[in-house]
Amino acid sequence: MAFIEVLKLRQSQRDFSERELSWYRLSRLLWAADGCNRPGTGHRTAPSVCNAQEIDIYVAMSSGLYRYDPLAPSLRQLSGVDIRAVTGKQDFVATAPVTLLYVADLSRMPPEEQARQLLFAALDAGHISQNVYLFCAAEGLAVVSRGWFDQGELAAAMGLTDGQHVMLAQSLGYPLAVAAPPRYS
């Protein structure tokens, strides 16, 4: 599919089928999000301000909570508890098959940029989120980015430390219905 066609298909969708993604498709999605695309360098598919690489991707599914390691690449299970219901205030979050949580570890940011660390982390989470949107458009998946969640409750459910902040959540899965045709030809 031509890149311009992917851009035409990119949209936010909030209605998800309960069908789970295969591990293969999930691994490809995570690589597209922020995988290492230049082996031996640690450089990723998404840019990072000051090359801090401060965003960690956590994956919430019915089988538990996982953390993506882009250098391995691998997905490590942190908990067998389904925390999807606390990842947002919207009614669909508890049943969307996958929720990606973009967590900034501010200890990786340059100390001289302390005043702008959260801004930089928000930019980096946005870059990763857009990669996910484009992957989902190309693969026929439904996706929506979300910022409406209880930071304290979610951080506690994830076992985060004081220097870690959830910047953005992104729910995804197979669409409940057939997607609308592109708006432009």
- Supply the DSSP string of 110-167, one letter for each residue: -GGGGGGHHHHHHHHHHHHHHHHHHHHHHHT-EEEEE--S-HHHHHHHHT--TTEEEE
pLDDT above 70 (res 178): no
Query: What was the pLDDT predicted at 1?
Result: 86
Helix (H, G, I), strand (E, B) or coil at 63: coil
CATH of residue 110: 3.40.109.10
Residue 78 lies in a domain: yes
pLDDT at 185: 38
Write the pLDDT tens digit of every residue in 86-141. 999 999 999 999 999 999 999 999 888 888 999 999 999 999 999 999 999 999 99
For residue 185, tell me if it sits in a domain. Answer: no
Examine residue 181 and state whether it is found in any structural domain, yes or no: no
Residue 17 has pLDDT above 80, yes or no: yes
- In a domain, residue 178? The reply is no
Residue whose C-alpha is closest to residue 45's, from 54, 36, 56, 53: 36
Residue 21 located in a structural domain:
yes
Q: Which of 140, 129, 127, 128 is nearest to 5 (CA)?
A: 140
Cα(120)–Cα(178) distance, integer angstroms = 36
| Count of domains forming the chain | 1
Domain of residue 90, residue span: 3-173
Residue 89 phi/psi, 5° resolution? -95, -10
**Mean pLDDT for the chain?**
93
Any domain includes 180: no
Confidence of residue 184 (pLDDT cuts 50, 70, 90): very low
Classify residue 15: in a domain, yes or no.
yes
Output DSSP code: residue 49. Answer: G
Q: For residue 104, give the DSSP letter.
A: E
pLDDT of residue 182: 54
| Structural domain includes residue 183 | no
Phi, psi of 136 (to 5 degrees): -65, -40
